[in-house]
Amino acid sequence: MQALCLENNQLIYRDNVPIPKPPDGEALVRVHLAGICATDLELVQGYYPYTGILGHEFVGEIVQTADAPERVGERVVGEINATCGVCEACLKRQPAHCEQRTVLGIVNRDGAFAEYLCLPVKNLIPVPASIPDEAAVFTEPLAAALEIQAQITIRPTDHILVVGAGRLGQLIAQTLVLTGCHLQVVARHDKQRQLLATRQIAWIDESAVPQRHFDIVIEATGSAGGFTIARQAVRPRGTIVLKSTYKGDMSVNFSALVVDEITLVGSRCGPFAPALRLLENKLIDPILLIDARFPVDKALQAFERAAQQGILKVLLHLT
């Protein structure tokens, strides 16, 4: 099969990778579409020492599974954390923190930038027929956006700032605006601003962000500059949600955080079922975020495009 691999922080396209054989409890999935996200780009930059096939945002079709043959032919998306089920985190129903987990295209498990992948059957969630592939491929990042509301309470009276209007920031904004809160999004590029405006979401230039004003600030840039804006914008006793990973170390004045009694919340993976319901009910429209599509044999060019400033979602067609 064709696949895009990461080896020694170098992307390599291969057309002779063996099709994986699903072990007990897992299924073989033929990938239809896969999305390139910031984590993929950061892995290439050395964010985490991963070797293997990249990619974790996908929609595909189950083609083989001995454990649930009745599910063959289902169109599915997949929870990316494959867990042991018996460790302390799993028993506490915190599978994203399983001590033995593998993570699709990120930690010790080949990912979705290939014609086929394997995941546990329990991780694979059917996609309603009314959701096209181009929307279903956004299920994983949309679930990550929804995790914010699973972690903290959002009230209609809250003043909320999202720092960053890129791939994830746009989805976070679309989910938050449904709560009726007072929402603003820091957006640098014209296209980002236009997309926000189409959803009647207010954008603001970073130079105009009021200081010590917002109850909740979501940092979705993964940059030191984005964190600085977030720190300056949050009010005393407010909350900063860190929604992106950061490469390397970052200098933070923790004494000031203590004095202002700021709550920091790290936020990663989220629930797939609510994400699919939002897509099915057309309350979220991610398709407008697609900037480009490439066949898998042009995956290297796709990554070059995805890394360009201001580019939103780039998709790989696997079938």
Average pLDDT, the chain: 95
Q: Can you give the pLDDT at residue 81?
A: 95
Sign of the four-CA dihedral 7, 13, 18, 22: positive
- Which residues lie across from 161 on neighbouring strands? 184, 217
Paired tokens of 7: 């080896």
Q: Can you give the pLDDT at residue 258?
A: 96
Query: Position of tokens 């970052």?
Result: 250
Q: What is the DSSP string of 124-190?
A: EEEPPTTS-HHHHTTHHHHHHHHHHHHHS---TT-EEEEE--SHHHHHHHHHHHTTT-EEEEE--SH
Go through the domains of the chain in sequence order and give each one's CATH number: 3-138+286-317 (3.90.180.10), 144-266 (3.40.50.720)
Integer Cα distance of 255 and 258 in angstroms: 5
Q: Can you give the pLDDT at residue 2?
A: 97
The 3-class secondary structure across 272-314, one letter per residue, is HHHHHHHHHCCCCCCHHHEEEEEEHHHHHHHHHHHCCCCCCEE
Pairing of strands 182-186, 202-204: parallel
Which pLDDT band, with edges at 50, 70 and 90, does 251 fall under?
confident
Which pLDDT band, with edges at 50, 70 and 90, does 192 fall under?
very high
Condensed to tens digits (0 to 9), the pLDDT of residues 84-134 reads 999 999 999 898 899 999 999 999 999 999 999 999 999 999 999 999 999
Amino acid present at 146: L
Q: Can you give the pLDDT at residue 84?
A: 92
**Whether the Cβ atoms of residue 134 and residue 280 lie closer than 8 Å to each other:** no
Which pLDDT band, with edges at 50, 70 and 90, does 245 fall under?
confident
In the predicted model, is pLDDT for residue 248 greater than 90? no
Condensed to tens digits (0 to 9), the pLDDT of residues 86-97 reads 999 999 989 889
Closest CA to 166 of 6, 5, 48, 42: 42
In the predicted model, is pLDDT for residue 59 greater than 90? yes
Condensed to tens digits (0 to 9), the pLDDT of residues 62-85 reads 999 999 999 999 999 999 999 999
Condensed to tens digits (0 to 9), the pLDDT of residues 20-40 reads 999 999 999 999 999 999 999
In the predicted model, is pLDDT for residue 160 greater than 90? yes
Q: Can you give the pLDDT at residue 1?
A: 97
Integer Cα distance of 310 and 190 in angstroms: 9
Q: Can you give the pLDDT at residue 246?
A: 73
Whether pTM exceeds 0.85: yes
Per cent of the chain over pLDDT 90 is 89
Paired tokens of 293: 């599509």
